Structure 1
């Protein structure tokens, strides 16, 4: 009699175990989201000093005191809330620098929106100043519709709007409001 009761208990436990096993779902992504609000960043970096290398040489250096990572969103982005500085190193150690009070980089579109005291200084001392500047990383294109001041080799050009490739070989102030010619 004892083996019969033992077999019944074993069968009942087996049925419950199998039922529980097949009723479980893969909720790993849901478990990861527990405790993370959709409106909160998934990470915060302080004193970020990120170096990008290409073929063993430093090609760029990104510095920011506080960066928020919103890669958990449907439209992921990184926000540089306390300013950002990007040093770009060209061949022969020529350096260009981009500085802004605030920046946001959209991951999917590869668009960077820089705001507040945006200054680009190229390796050959051309300087662009504006309140907002966009950089399209895919097309390597800079543009704005805001007021700009652009110092070229011989002029300071003020106006509204700016278009240029990333190397500034075709930099253009769109609506020129004034030109100051520099003396040598």
Structure 2
């Protein structure tokens, strides 16, 4: 029998350790493409304030209590969104508020939902609906949902609307009611 000066118990421990490692590395290897991928936001920001300007003049002011950013560039405002529109001279012309908002980055398109209210402060007109799209690039808002517009003289109701983003000019697609507020 050959003796190298290393005790027999050392070889027993070494073989046991190798066997343990071999069992531990068994079937745990998985294809990463088959694993469920995380689809939630990669960043959350609280108390968001975003300013859009033209020639160093603020044209749009966007505020939200929470903004979630996603890998594809989209942003979600799960706790609501508040947008203010300004004219070239700096005067506030209109506002847009909603309980939820989503921006599709590659289309520069916002979707707002839940108690959507657009106020034209200069004309004292108010739009109410449950869902509205805002195309920032084209400076337009539109919806196919029910809308209610209150002016100083009347209440207009209908389905579908197309307007410029400051709500100074609009068109209801299918008018369903007009009520005069004057006696």
TM-score, shorter chain, exceeding 0.5:
yes
Q: Is the 8 A contact 1:48 1:63 kept in 2?
A: yes
> Which structure's CA Rg is the greater one?
2
Q: 2: distance between equivalents of 1:59 and 1:48?
A: 17
Give the alignment of 1:9-20 within 5 angstroms. none
Deviation string, structure 1 residues 132-171 (Cα, Å, up to 9, x no partner): 0011223222111111101235321011111122243541
Q: 1: distance between equivalents of 2:60 and 2:175?
A: 32
Q: State the partner residue of 2:177.
A: 178
SS at match of 1:41: coil
Deviation string, structure 1 residues 3-53 (Cα, Å, up to 9, x no partner): xxxxxxxxxxxxxxxxxxxxxxxxxxxxxxxxxx54021211101122233
Name the CA shift for 1:136/1:130 in 2 (closer, same or farther; >3 Å).
same
Q: State the partner residue of 2:120.
A: 122
Q: How many equivalent residue pairs?
A: 145
SS at match of 2:134: strand
Give the alignment of 1:50-89 within 5 angstroms. 50-70=50-70, 72-73=71-72, 76-89=73-86
Name the CA shift for 1:169/1:50 in 2 (closer, same or farther; >3 Å).
closer
Q: Is the 8 A contact 1:148 1:161 kept in 2?
A: yes
Q: Which has the higher helix share?
A: 1
Q: Tell me, which stretches of 5 or more residues in structure 2 are unaligned? A: 1-36
Q: State the partner residue of 1:141.
A: 140
Q: Tell me, which stretches of 5 or more residues in structure 1 are unaligned? A: 1-36
| 2:91 counterpart of 1:91 | no
Tell me the TM-score normalised to structure 1 length: 0.71
Q: 1: distance between equivalents of 2:152 and 2:125?
A: 7
